[in-house]
Protein backbone atom coordinates (compact mmCIF):
# COMPACT_ATOMS: atom_id res chain seq x y z
CA UNK A 1 0.00 0.00 0.00
CA UNK A 2 1.67 3.21 -1.18
CA UNK A 3 -1.19 5.61 -0.66
CA UNK A 4 -3.81 5.88 2.04
CA UNK A 5 -6.86 8.07 2.60
CA UNK A 6 -8.14 8.60 6.13
CA UNK A 7 -10.66 10.82 7.82
CA UNK A 8 -9.09 14.15 8.68
CA UNK A 9 -7.04 13.66 11.87
CA UNK A 10 -7.18 15.63 15.13
CA UNK A 11 -4.36 16.43 17.54
CA UNK A 12 -5.39 15.65 21.12
CA UNK A 13 -2.39 17.36 22.79
CA UNK A 14 -0.88 20.50 21.32
CA UNK A 15 1.09 23.52 22.55
CA UNK A 16 0.56 26.56 20.33
CA UNK A 17 1.99 29.22 22.69
CA UNK A 18 1.07 32.83 21.96
CA UNK A 19 2.26 35.88 19.99
CA UNK A 20 4.89 35.34 17.31
CA UNK A 21 5.34 31.62 18.00
CA UNK A 22 1.58 31.04 17.73
CA UNK A 23 1.49 32.82 14.38
CA UNK A 24 4.45 30.81 13.08
CA UNK A 25 3.40 27.32 14.21
CA UNK A 26 -0.39 27.36 13.86
CA UNK A 27 -0.51 26.85 10.05
CA UNK A 28 1.23 23.47 10.34
CA UNK A 29 -1.63 22.20 12.48
CA UNK A 30 -4.56 24.10 10.98
CA UNK A 31 -3.81 22.95 7.41
CA UNK A 32 -3.94 19.28 8.28
CA UNK A 33 -5.94 18.70 11.43
CA UNK A 34 -9.63 19.28 12.07
CA UNK A 35 -9.33 19.99 15.78
CA UNK A 36 -6.71 20.14 18.50
CA UNK A 37 -6.73 20.14 22.28
CA UNK A 38 -4.81 23.30 23.15
CA UNK A 39 -2.62 23.05 26.22
CA UNK A 40 -3.01 25.85 28.78
CA UNK A 41 0.59 26.21 30.04
CA UNK A 42 1.05 29.78 28.86
CA UNK A 43 2.82 32.37 30.97
CA UNK A 44 0.67 33.15 32.94
CA UNK A 45 -1.36 29.94 32.58
CA UNK A 46 -4.94 29.67 31.32
CA UNK A 47 -6.72 29.26 34.64
CA UNK A 48 -10.15 30.79 33.92
CA UNK A 49 -12.85 30.42 31.30
CA UNK A 50 -12.49 34.08 30.42
CA UNK A 51 -8.77 33.72 29.73
CA UNK A 52 -9.41 30.52 27.73
CA UNK A 53 -12.04 32.27 25.59
CA UNK A 54 -9.67 35.17 24.89
CA UNK A 55 -6.84 32.75 24.00
CA UNK A 56 -9.20 30.84 21.69
CA UNK A 57 -10.04 34.10 19.95
CA UNK A 58 -6.34 34.95 19.47
CA UNK A 59 -5.87 31.54 17.84
CA UNK A 60 -8.89 32.06 15.55
CA UNK A 61 -7.58 35.54 14.64
CA UNK A 62 -4.40 33.94 13.26
CA UNK A 63 -6.31 31.70 10.85
CA UNK A 64 -7.24 32.51 7.25
CA UNK A 65 -10.97 33.27 6.67
CA UNK A 66 -11.71 29.95 4.93
CA UNK A 67 -10.12 27.74 7.59
CA UNK A 68 -11.85 24.66 8.98
CA UNK A 69 -9.84 24.30 12.18
CA UNK A 70 -11.37 24.18 15.64
CA UNK A 71 -9.22 24.82 18.73
CA UNK A 72 -10.54 22.89 21.75
CA UNK A 73 -9.60 24.73 24.90
CA UNK A 74 -8.40 23.46 28.27
CA UNK A 75 -8.12 24.91 31.76
CA UNK A 76 -4.94 24.76 33.82
CA UNK A 77 -5.78 23.16 37.15
CA UNK A 78 -4.33 24.79 40.28
CA UNK A 79 -4.76 24.19 44.00
CA UNK A 80 -7.25 27.08 43.94
CA UNK A 81 -9.41 26.28 40.89
CA UNK A 82 -13.09 26.82 41.78
CA UNK A 83 -15.64 24.13 40.88
CA UNK A 84 -17.87 26.93 39.53
CA UNK A 85 -15.24 27.61 36.84
CA UNK A 86 -15.71 24.07 35.51
CA UNK A 87 -19.48 24.47 35.37
CA UNK A 88 -19.10 27.79 33.57
CA UNK A 89 -16.63 26.35 31.06
CA UNK A 90 -18.94 23.44 30.35
CA UNK A 91 -22.08 25.61 30.09
CA UNK A 92 -20.39 28.01 27.69
CA UNK A 93 -18.99 25.14 25.63
CA UNK A 94 -15.47 26.56 25.88
CA UNK A 95 -13.68 24.01 28.06
CA UNK A 96 -13.11 20.46 26.72
CA UNK A 97 -10.67 19.22 29.33
CA UNK A 98 -8.84 20.31 32.46
CA UNK A 99 -5.07 19.84 32.60
CA UNK A 100 -3.32 18.54 35.67
CA UNK A 101 0.34 19.47 35.89
CA UNK A 102 2.02 18.30 39.07
CA UNK A 103 3.72 21.53 40.23
CA UNK A 104 7.27 21.65 38.88
CA UNK A 105 6.97 18.57 36.66
CA UNK A 106 7.50 20.26 33.26
CA UNK A 107 7.60 23.51 31.25
CA UNK A 108 5.47 26.26 32.87
CA UNK A 109 4.07 23.96 35.52
CA UNK A 110 5.06 26.05 38.54
CA UNK A 111 1.44 27.04 39.16
CA UNK A 112 0.33 23.42 38.93
CA UNK A 113 -1.12 21.19 41.60
CA UNK A 114 0.91 20.65 44.77
CA UNK A 115 -1.37 17.90 46.10
CA UNK A 116 -4.15 16.22 44.11
CA UNK A 117 -6.30 16.04 47.26
CA UNK A 118 -6.62 19.84 47.08
CA UNK A 119 -8.47 19.51 43.77
CA UNK A 120 -11.03 16.89 44.83
CA UNK A 121 -13.97 19.33 44.85
CA UNK A 122 -13.11 20.23 41.25
CA UNK A 123 -12.65 16.60 40.22
CA UNK A 124 -16.06 15.75 41.67
CA UNK A 125 -17.79 18.31 39.47
CA UNK A 126 -15.74 17.22 36.45
CA UNK A 127 -16.86 13.65 36.96
CA UNK A 128 -20.46 14.80 37.29
CA UNK A 129 -20.33 17.03 34.18
CA UNK A 130 -18.28 14.62 32.11
CA UNK A 131 -15.28 16.93 31.69
CA UNK A 132 -12.14 14.82 31.26
CA UNK A 133 -8.91 15.29 33.19
CA UNK A 134 -5.81 15.52 31.04
CA UNK A 135 -2.83 14.41 33.10
CA UNK A 136 0.88 15.09 32.89
CA UNK A 137 1.72 11.79 34.54
CA UNK A 138 5.08 12.35 36.15
CA UNK A 139 5.79 12.59 39.85
CA UNK A 140 7.66 15.75 40.77
CA UNK A 141 10.04 14.38 43.33
CA UNK A 142 13.74 15.10 42.92
CA UNK A 143 14.41 11.85 44.76
CA UNK A 144 12.79 9.80 41.99
CA UNK A 145 14.93 8.94 38.97
CA UNK A 146 13.75 10.95 35.93
CA UNK A 147 13.19 7.75 33.92
CA UNK A 148 10.95 6.34 36.68
CA UNK A 149 8.73 9.37 37.22
CA UNK A 150 5.84 8.11 35.07
CA UNK A 151 5.75 4.70 36.75
CA UNK A 152 5.93 6.23 40.22
CA UNK A 153 3.19 8.75 39.37
CA UNK A 154 0.90 5.93 38.25
CA UNK A 155 1.52 4.04 41.45
CA UNK A 156 1.37 6.91 43.93
CA UNK A 157 -1.10 9.30 42.28
CA UNK A 158 -3.01 8.02 39.26
CA UNK A 159 -4.13 4.69 40.64
CA UNK A 160 -5.58 6.17 43.88
CA UNK A 161 -7.16 8.99 41.84
CA UNK A 162 -8.91 6.51 39.56
CA UNK A 163 -10.19 4.56 42.55
CA UNK A 164 -11.64 7.74 44.09
CA UNK A 165 -13.17 8.97 40.82
CA UNK A 166 -14.07 5.78 38.95
CA UNK A 167 -16.18 7.54 36.31
CA UNK A 168 -13.91 10.50 35.67
CA UNK A 169 -12.50 10.40 32.14
CA UNK A 170 -8.70 10.58 32.40
CA UNK A 171 -6.10 10.91 29.68
CA UNK A 172 -2.58 9.83 30.56
CA UNK A 173 -0.86 12.30 28.24
CA UNK A 174 2.20 11.40 26.17
CA UNK A 175 2.52 7.91 27.65
CA UNK A 176 6.26 7.22 27.64
CA UNK A 177 6.86 3.83 29.23
CA UNK A 178 5.86 0.19 28.92
CA UNK A 179 4.59 0.48 32.49
CA UNK A 180 2.26 3.28 31.40
CA UNK A 181 1.05 1.39 28.33
CA UNK A 182 0.40 -1.76 30.36
CA UNK A 183 -1.45 0.23 33.00
CA UNK A 184 -3.79 1.81 30.45
CA UNK A 185 -4.41 -1.62 28.93
CA UNK A 186 -5.23 -3.08 32.33
CA UNK A 187 -8.09 -0.74 33.17
CA UNK A 188 -11.50 0.32 31.92
CA UNK A 189 -12.91 2.66 29.33
CA UNK A 190 -12.52 5.78 31.50
CA UNK A 191 -8.75 5.84 31.00
CA UNK A 192 -7.09 6.66 27.68
CA UNK A 193 -3.64 7.79 26.62
CA UNK A 194 -2.16 10.03 23.99
CA UNK A 195 0.96 8.97 22.11
CA UNK A 196 3.45 11.36 20.51
CA UNK A 197 5.41 10.74 17.31
CA UNK A 198 8.70 11.25 19.10
CA UNK A 199 7.96 8.63 21.76
CA UNK A 200 7.20 6.24 18.87
CA UNK A 201 10.46 7.06 17.08
CA UNK A 202 13.23 7.80 19.55
CA UNK A 203 14.62 6.29 22.72
CA UNK A 204 16.91 7.71 25.39
CA UNK A 205 20.03 6.90 23.39
CA UNK A 206 18.77 9.31 20.70
CA UNK A 207 19.28 12.19 23.15
CA UNK A 208 23.01 11.40 23.23
CA UNK A 209 23.61 10.14 19.67
CA UNK A 210 26.47 12.13 18.09
CA UNK A 211 26.74 14.21 21.29
CA UNK A 212 24.13 15.74 23.57
CA UNK A 213 21.16 16.85 21.48
CA UNK A 214 18.73 19.17 23.28
CA UNK A 215 16.27 18.90 20.37
CA UNK A 216 15.53 15.32 21.45
CA UNK A 217 14.74 16.46 25.00
CA UNK A 218 11.14 16.55 26.10
CA UNK A 219 9.15 15.56 29.15
CA UNK A 220 8.38 12.83 29.85
CA UNK A 221 11.88 12.07 28.63
CA UNK A 222 12.27 9.30 26.03
CA UNK A 223 13.00 5.99 27.72
CA UNK A 224 14.45 2.58 26.82
CA UNK A 225 14.08 0.89 23.45
CA UNK A 226 11.73 -1.63 25.12
CA UNK A 227 9.49 1.27 26.17
CA UNK A 228 9.51 2.72 22.65
CA UNK A 229 8.51 -0.66 21.24
CA UNK A 230 5.62 -0.98 23.72
CA UNK A 231 4.37 2.52 22.84
CA UNK A 232 4.57 1.74 19.11
CA UNK A 233 2.70 -1.53 19.59
CA UNK A 234 -0.08 0.29 21.44
CA UNK A 235 -0.35 2.97 18.74
CA UNK A 236 -0.51 0.60 15.80
CA UNK A 237 -2.80 -1.90 17.55
CA UNK A 238 -6.01 0.02 16.86
CA UNK A 239 -6.90 -0.24 20.59
CA UNK A 240 -9.39 2.63 21.08
CA UNK A 241 -7.74 3.72 24.35
CA UNK A 242 -4.65 4.98 22.50
CA UNK A 243 -4.76 8.03 20.25
CA UNK A 244 -2.57 10.67 18.68
CA UNK A 245 -1.47 13.72 20.65
CA UNK A 246 1.59 15.34 19.11
CA UNK A 247 2.72 17.21 22.24
CA UNK A 248 4.25 19.53 19.65
CA UNK A 249 5.93 22.00 22.00
CA UNK A 250 7.87 24.77 20.23
CA UNK A 251 10.71 26.56 21.99
CA UNK A 252 13.15 29.02 20.47
CA UNK A 253 16.51 27.37 19.66
CA UNK A 254 18.17 29.81 22.08
CA UNK A 255 15.93 28.49 24.87
CA UNK A 256 16.75 24.86 23.99
CA UNK A 257 20.50 25.17 23.47
CA UNK A 258 21.64 26.38 26.87
CA UNK A 259 22.23 25.15 30.39
CA UNK A 260 18.76 24.54 31.72
CA UNK A 261 17.49 24.11 28.16
CA UNK A 262 13.71 23.87 27.77
CA UNK A 263 11.89 20.54 27.47
CA UNK A 264 9.70 20.21 24.38
CA UNK A 265 9.89 19.00 20.78
CA UNK A 266 8.26 20.91 17.91
CA UNK A 267 6.90 18.25 15.56
CA UNK A 268 3.72 19.53 13.94
CA UNK A 269 5.31 19.77 10.43
CA UNK A 270 6.53 16.16 10.47
CA UNK A 271 4.31 14.24 12.89
CA UNK A 272 1.78 12.78 10.48
CA UNK A 273 4.18 11.59 7.73
CA UNK A 274 6.49 10.03 10.33
CA UNK A 275 3.60 8.22 11.93
CA UNK A 276 2.33 6.95 8.56
CA UNK A 277 5.84 5.67 7.84
CA UNK A 278 5.93 3.90 11.21
CA UNK A 279 2.52 2.30 10.67
CA UNK A 280 3.67 1.09 7.25
CA UNK A 281 6.85 -0.38 8.75
CA UNK A 282 4.74 -2.23 11.31
CA UNK A 283 2.37 -3.48 8.60
CA UNK A 284 -0.49 -1.64 10.29
CA UNK A 285 -1.59 1.07 7.86
CA UNK A 286 -5.16 -0.19 8.19
CA UNK A 287 -5.12 1.10 11.80
CA UNK A 288 -3.74 4.55 10.97
CA UNK A 289 -7.21 6.08 10.75
CA UNK A 290 -8.24 4.69 14.15
CA UNK A 291 -5.14 6.16 15.81
CA UNK A 292 -5.12 9.52 14.04
CA UNK A 293 -8.79 10.25 13.41
CA UNK A 294 -11.24 8.04 15.33
CA UNK A 295 -10.09 6.93 18.79
CA UNK A 296 -9.49 10.39 20.27
CA UNK A 297 -12.77 11.82 19.01
CA UNK A 298 -14.58 8.87 20.51
CA UNK A 299 -12.86 9.30 23.85
CA UNK A 300 -13.87 12.98 23.92
CA UNK A 301 -17.42 12.13 22.84
CA UNK A 302 -17.13 13.94 19.51
CA UNK A 303 -17.92 12.73 16.00
CA UNK A 304 -14.97 12.13 13.67
CA UNK A 305 -14.25 14.78 11.06
CA UNK A 306 -16.31 14.32 7.90
CA UNK A 307 -13.70 15.13 5.26
CA UNK A 308 -10.59 13.15 4.38
CA UNK A 309 -6.89 13.55 3.68
CA UNK A 310 -4.48 11.36 1.72
CA UNK A 311 -0.89 10.38 2.35
CA UNK A 312 1.45 8.71 -0.09
CA UNK A 313 4.82 7.04 -0.15
CA UNK A 314 7.31 8.83 -2.40
CA UNK A 315 10.44 7.59 -4.20
CA UNK A 316 12.95 10.15 -2.98
CA UNK A 317 13.27 11.20 0.69
CA UNK A 318 11.10 14.17 1.63
CA UNK A 319 13.24 17.17 2.55
CA UNK A 320 12.45 18.32 6.06
CA UNK A 321 13.51 21.86 7.00
CA UNK A 322 15.85 21.97 9.97
CA UNK A 323 13.95 24.86 11.51
CA UNK A 324 11.23 27.45 10.99
CA UNK A 325 11.79 31.15 11.51
CA UNK A 326 10.04 33.05 14.25
CA UNK A 327 10.98 36.71 13.85
CA UNK A 328 14.76 36.84 14.34
CA UNK A 329 14.69 33.45 16.08
CA UNK A 330 14.39 29.83 15.00
CA UNK A 331 12.41 26.84 16.21
CA UNK A 332 13.92 23.46 15.39
CA UNK A 333 11.70 20.96 13.53
CA UNK A 334 11.62 17.38 14.80
CA UNK A 335 13.27 14.84 12.54
CA UNK A 336 15.08 11.58 13.04
CA UNK A 337 18.17 10.25 11.28
CA UNK A 338 15.99 7.92 9.20
CA UNK A 339 14.89 9.38 5.85
CA UNK A 340 11.21 10.16 5.51
CA UNK A 341 9.35 8.67 2.55
CA UNK A 342 5.76 9.61 3.34
CA UNK A 343 4.09 12.89 2.48
CA UNK A 344 0.65 14.43 2.66
CA UNK A 345 -0.92 14.64 -0.80
C1 LIG B 1 5.84 20.85 27.10
C2 LIG B 1 6.00 22.35 26.85
O3 LIG B 1 7.07 22.76 26.39
O4 LIG B 1 5.05 23.11 27.07
N5 LIG B 1 7.12 20.25 27.12
C6 LIG B 1 7.41 18.95 26.90
O7 LIG B 1 8.57 18.57 27.02
N8 LIG B 1 6.49 18.10 26.52
C9 LIG B 1 5.07 20.63 28.36
C10 LIG B 1 4.62 19.20 28.54
O11 LIG B 1 3.73 18.73 27.84
O12 LIG B 1 5.19 18.52 29.39
ZN1 LIG C 1 2.51 18.79 26.39
pLDDT tens digits for range 238-274: 999 999 999 999 999 999 999 999 999 999 999 999 9
Which residue, among 278, 268, 192, has the nearest Cα to 228 in the 3D structure? Answer: 278
Angle between helix axes 83-91 and 49-61 (nearest 10 degrees) is 40
Ligand nearest to the CA of 251: 1
Q: Which fold is adopted by the domain 3-344?
A: TIM Barrel (3.20.20)
Residues sharing a CB contact under 8 Å with residue 256, sequence separation 6 or more, in sequence order: 214, 215, 217, 262, 264, 332
Catalytic residue, candidates 130, 247, 255, 315: 247
pLDDT at 195 over 90: yes
Q: Which pLDDT score is estimated for 3?
A: 97
Measured CA to CA in angstroms, residue 218 lies from 83, 144, 147, 202, 247 at distances of 32, 17, 12, 11, 9
What is the CA(44)–ligand 2 centre distance, in A? 16
Measured CA to CA in angstroms, residue 14 lies from 196, 265, 270, 318 at distances of 10, 11, 14, 24
Residues sharing a CB contact under 8 Å with residue 196, sequence separation 6 or more, in sequence order: 13, 174, 218, 245, 246, 247, 265, 267, 271
pLDDT at 1 over 90: no
Which residue, among 163, 164, 201, 159, has the nearest Cα to 180 in the 3D structure? Answer: 159
Domain extents in the chain: 3-344
Residue 109 alpha carbon, nearest atom of ligand 1? 9
Query: At 1, is the secondary structure helix, strand, or coil?
Result: coil
List, in sequence order, every residue forming a beta bridge with 242; answer none if it has no partner.
193
Residue 15 alpha carbon, nearest atom of ligand 1? 4
The protein residue with its alpha carbon nearest to ligand 1, atom 5, reads 264
The protein residue with its alpha carbon nearest to ligand 1, atom 11, reads 247
Residues with CB under 6 A from ligand 1: 15, 41, 106-108, 136, 218-219, 247, 249, 263-264
In this structure, the chain runs to a length of: 345
Question: Best mutation site among 136, 264, 331 for ligand 1, i.e. most ligand atoms within 8 A of its Cβ?
Answer: 264
Q: Is 25 exposed, middle or buried (0-12, 13-18, 19+ CB in 10 A)?
A: buried
Residue 182 appears among annotated catalytic residues = no
Residue 15: pLDDT band (50, 70, 90) is very high
pLDDT digits (tens, 9 = 90+) for 105-136: 998 999 999 999 999 999 999 999 999 999 99
pLDDT digits (tens, 9 = 90+) for 174-188: 999 999 999 999 998
Question: What letter would DSSP give residue 116?
Answer: G
pLDDT at 189 over 90: no
pTM for the full predicted model: 0.98
pLDDT-above-70 percentage for the chain: 100
Ligand nearest to the CA of 101: 1
What is the CA(316)–ligand 1 centre distance, in A? 33
Residue 136 alpha carbon, nearest atom of ligand 1? 12
List phi, psi (to 5°) of 249.
-135, 80
Amino acid sequence: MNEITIKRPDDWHLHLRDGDILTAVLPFTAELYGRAIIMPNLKPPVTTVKVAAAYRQRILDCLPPDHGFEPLMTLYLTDNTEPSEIRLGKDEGIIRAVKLYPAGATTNSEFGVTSIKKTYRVLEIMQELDVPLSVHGEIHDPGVDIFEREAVFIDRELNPLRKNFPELGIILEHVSSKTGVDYVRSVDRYLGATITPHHMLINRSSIFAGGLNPHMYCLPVAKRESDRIAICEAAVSGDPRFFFGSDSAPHRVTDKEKTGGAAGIFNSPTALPYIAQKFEAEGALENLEAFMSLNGARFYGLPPNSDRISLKKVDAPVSVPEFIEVGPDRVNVFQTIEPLFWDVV
